[in-house]
Structure 1
Amino acid sequence: MFWAVVSRADHSLEAVAPAGPATAVDGYGNLPYFSPMNSRNTTARLEARLPGEIHALLKRAAELQGRSLTDFVVTAASEAARKTIEDMEILRLSADDQLRIAQAVLDPPSPVPALVRAAKRHRERVDPA
């Protein structure tokens, strides 16, 4: 598993979790989310059963923002989904932890004897010359 250390515009660093083949992370650690208004014209249907008081709450909030109930729910759900994905896939580090990672990358510690022996055994078994 490979973790990328990404430098942000504000000069902070972030360790970014590996992305799957369809979710490449850009140079700033941003995932390629699709907004509800993306260029594709495909739609999908979502139905939900909810208590009447939750429906009334959502409807009132949508009216206060001058939006349709569907638009309000889709936007709120999309934002919640993006935040959940970001919270689970991006590891935010303190300044001290950023320095520790950078130091370990720039000046890695010497391998312990057990690691040297394991690497030697691996080479002998995988690529015996």
Structure 2
Amino acid sequence: METQSSLNKDERIEIRLSSSDKQVFMKAQKLSGDKTFSSFIVRVVKEKAEEIVAKNESIIASEKDKEKFFEAVFGNPQPNQKLIDAANKYKSQTALL
């Protein structure tokens, strides 16, 4: 839920656009049911911005996961002591068969 401070609308931006773009945007605003042109623009831009951020964050997360996976698989070719002990235990148990 948004906090009171995030509901304050004290920031402004200015954009310049062609009249044909504005006509398309205004038609879309009327079709969307948004009460004002500003609310339509803010809603649409915010939705797209959140989509871009989410996509970027998932790419970054998947890159980190990929790095961790390849490091785990190919990073250290030397087995640690637990793996050596497990291999020796397996060999001793299977040698009796």
Which TM class, normalised by the smaller chain length? 0.5 to 0.7
Instruction: Write out aligned runs for 1:35-114 (5 A).
Output: 38-40=3-5, 41-67=8-34, 68-91=36-59, 101=69, 104=72, 109-110=75-76
Structure 2 CA distance for partners of 1:78 and 1:47, relative to 1, 3 Å? same
Deviation at 1:89, TM superposition (A): 2.2
Deviation at 1:109, TM superposition (A): 4.6
Structure 2 CA distance for partners of 1:42 and 1:63, relative to 1, 3 Å? closer
Give, as a single letter, the amino acid of the residue that structure 2 aligns with 1:45.
Answer: R
Q: Distance in 2 between matches of 1:69 and 1:51?
A: 15
Q: Distance in 2 between matches of 1:76 and 1:65?
A: 10
Q: Which runs of 5+ in 1 are unaligned?
A: 1-34, 113-129
Q: TM-score, normalised by structure 2?
A: 0.55
Q: SS at 1:90's partner residue?
A: helix
Of structures 1 and 2, the larger Rg is shown by: 2
Give, as a single letter, the amino acid of the residue that structure 2 aligns with 1:110.
Answer: N
Q: Which runs of 5+ in 2 are unaligned?
A: 79-97
2:93 matched residue in structure 1 = none
Question: 1 or 2 for the larger relative contact order (CA 8 Å, sep ≥6)?
Answer: 1
Higher strand residue share? 1
In the TM superposition, structure 1's runs of 4+ consecutive aligned residues that sit over 6 Å from their partners are: none
Higher helix residue share? 2
Deviation at 1:75, TM superposition (A): 0.6
Deviation at 1:38, TM superposition (A): 4.8
- Number of residues paired by the alignment? 71
Q: TM-score, normalised by structure 1?
A: 0.43
